[in-house]
Amino acid sequence: MRKNLFGLLFLVLAIAAAGAGVSNVYADVAPIERAARLIACQAHAGGACRARLGRMLRSPLFQDLEFQDGGRTIDVRCRRALYLVGDFSCALHAP
């Protein structure tokens, strides 16, 4: 009985983690892009920030956004607070 309960619990957790991972990859990216753009503009050296989104890598654990600002490339990584769940937070990232 105990073995079946652990197997069922593992199955439920695996399905929940897979669902959270799929949600992280396919969810609306607009709020994440806005947060990442704010970080990219903080790295901007004076004047109006015209950071343009170049590449984006979306994975279940993080999202990497690359912005072009003039001749510079600014890389920002956004990740959730608790791996697959929680609020996103963004920071400059050195690839």
Tens digits of pLDDT across the chain (95 residues): 677 888 899 999 999 999 998 988 888 889 999 999 999 888 666 667 888 999 999 999 999 999 998 788 899 999 999 888 889 999 998 87
The pLDDT score that the predictor gives to residue 92 is 93
CA dist., res. 77 & res. 84, Å (int): 15
Domain ranges, residue 20: 2-92
| CA atoms within 13 A of residue 88's CA, in its CB half-sphere | 26
Q: What is the CA radius of gyration of the chain?
A: 18
The pLDDT score that the predictor gives to residue 48 is 77
Tokens at 23, concatenated: 């949600």
CA dist., res. 75 & res. 53, Å (int): 10
The pLDDT score that the predictor gives to residue 70 is 79
Number of domains in the chain: 1
The pLDDT score that the predictor gives to residue 51 is 86
